Amino acid sequence: MQSNVRSASPPHASLQSPDKRPRSISPEVALQAVTRSTAPKRRKKRKHTPPESGSSEDVISREVVGLLGSELVSRAEADGLDWESPFGFREEVELTVSSISSSGEGLALAPSSKRPWVVVVPFVLPGEVIRARVYRHARMYSFADLISIEVPNSELRDMDRVRCKYFGTCAGCQYQMLSYETQLGLKRNVVVNAYRNYCNIPESSIPVIQSTIPSPLQYGYRTKITPHFEPPPKKLQKEAPTPSEEEKPYWLKIGFNQIGKRVVMDIEECPIATPVLNEAYEPMRDDIAKKIYGYKKGVSLLLRDSLEIPGGNSPVATTELAVQDHHVCITDHKATVRERVGDLLFDYQAGSFFQNNNSVLVPLTSYVRDAIFPSTAASASSTLPPTHLVDAYCGAGLFALTLAPHFTQIAGIELSADSIRFATHNAALNGLAHKVSFRAGDAAQIFSAVADFPPACTALVVDPPRKGCDEAFIRQLLGFRAQTVVYVSCNVHTQARDVGQIVSWSADEVAEGKGKYVLESLRGFDLFPQTAHVESVAVLRLVL
């Protein structure tokens, strides 16, 4: 496997011209200079800001502590060595990989000749003996490029599975050399470790985490990609050659970042993207190459897979659903994208959020439906099934509309006016405006938008951004006290933190005559095969 070679900075040249003589100074000034230079220097201690809870930096830091042991880390901190890497810049080292992190990178203990430390290396598997080159340091761990795999894990690694010629260099995928069954197992482990490290409730309160739900498509599933490129070098912006002289400049790279670098690599095709995106991407690259000298800034492109909308690419008040599913590529951030989920159509602005794997949306929404209406006696609550649904962070209305047939009244809550506009349009588009409404919520009093809903007969779906829910939202959630809460998350670590707060804080309020929430089930969903990413669905039930 090829390594990512990093160039070391050149030595600094002397700033003093050789034909200039040094300036003469008095003996008193010379003595002061000698005194200052020989006096012991106080080393300034760098201030390190702790990473945000649930961020990628925080996640890997906790996994490093788990591998080294908290006592050893505390000892290093007390000795002032927790930020002092035993490795030099670009030092090469042979390592044995211990485990895989939640981000899909290998974690390896430093050799016994070094102080206890962890090295993070991409594209490696547990048990493999590797050579790596260290390039950056953090608290108790360093990042390194993979140079070679000396002893591969032959049980797991099969390079014949890899479908992308950029795999091992592009930062997009981590798991193409693994069987899909192995990928799903690793993603279940991510959920397990997230709840172990972030939930802060007794282990007995966490149910057995079920196997990860697979994606129907493992390649060709991604409905959105955002390749990017840099502008011409400044020296060429003034004297740009004509297109006939140079059709595609050697320096032009259009694609995605290299692993561990902020450097764009040229990528002609992405095998996890849908076919319509790859078909549109090739001529787009050619067009950029012809016009590249007209760009003064770097550009992040947008390609979204969309159904063709009759009458143009704008939201229209139509209830015509029997349209031909002809796919097109949308590249304008402000244009409208249309997707079909089951029998429903969803329009949304291309630059806004919508799940990027359409093939898994029916299994996901069906799972949420079945969690709210369990078919067995496994539910911790003996109350009647809910009749009302609140979809918080509703976006274009995915859960509100797909679950609408099972409730008498549904409300989606959003802070974004554009999202409310599209969600309302989607309710009309699918003939559901009579029972589904979308309401703008105030961040300080978000549940006041559904004050008319009876909490004891209400189910709540929460699907927040990666940072999760803030304390104010959780306090409002507990004040509303919906019968069932289904928490869908793209960041299982912030989900685990928030679920722990919901469970523990509700238990603290039992004395006030309020019911408490129990975590009934927990399961991952694979929305991004070939990558380390996993979605998670947690179901909480109110027990009186």
Active-site amino acid positions: 490
Quick check: 302 and 222 in contact, CB under 8 A? no
495 is in an annotated binding site: no
Q: What is the 3-state secondary structure of 444-496?
A: CEHHHHHCCCCHHHEEEEECCCCCCCCHHHHHHHHHHCCCEEEEEECCHHHHH
- The annotation status of 219 as a binding-site residue, yes or no, is no
Any idea which residue has 């192995």 for tokens? 182
DSSP line for 310-342: TTSSS------------EEEE--TTSEEEEEET
Comparing CA positions, the residue from 185, 206, 73, 43 lying closest to residue 126 is 185
Could you tell me the two tokens for 330? Answer: 């949308």
> Per the annotation, does 32 bind a ligand?
no
What DSSP character marks residue 442?
A: B
Q: Which residues of 308-321 are buried (b: 16+ CB within 10 A; e: fewer)?
A: ebeeebebeeeeee
Helix axes 56-68, 180-198, angle to 10 degrees: 90
Contact 369, 392 (CB under 8 A): no
Contact 105, 120 (CB under 8 A): yes
Answer yes or no: are the C-beta atoms of 240 and 232 closer than 8 Å. yes
For 90-114, give one letter per residue: b (16+ CB within 10 A) or e.
eeebebbbebbbbbbbbbbbbeeee
Could you give phi then psi for residue 306, rounded to 5 degrees?
-140, 150
| Neighbouring C-beta atoms of residue 226, cutoff 10 Å | 10
- Provide the phi-psi class of 342: left if phi over 0, else alpha when psi is between -120 and 50, else beta: left
Instruction: Please report, as a single letter, which amino acid is at residue 361.
Output: L
463 is in an annotated binding site: yes
User: Residues 266, 254: contact at Cβ < 8 Å?
Assistant: yes
3-class DSSP state of 131: strand
Q: In 3-state terms, what secondary structure has residue 229?
A: strand
CA dihedral sign of residues 325, 331, 334, 335: negative
Question: Which two structure tokens, joined as six digits, stand for 134?
Answer: 């260290």
Residue 87 C-alpha from the chain's centroid: 29
DSSP per residue over 258-298, as a string? BTTSS-EEE-S--TTB-HHHHHHHHHHHHHHHHHGGG-SS-
Under 8 Å between Cβ of 276 and 303: no
Burial class (CB in 10 A: 0-12, 13-18, 19+), 453: buried
Residues in the chain: 544
For the annotated binding site for S-adenosyl-L-methionine, the residues are 355, 393, 414, 463
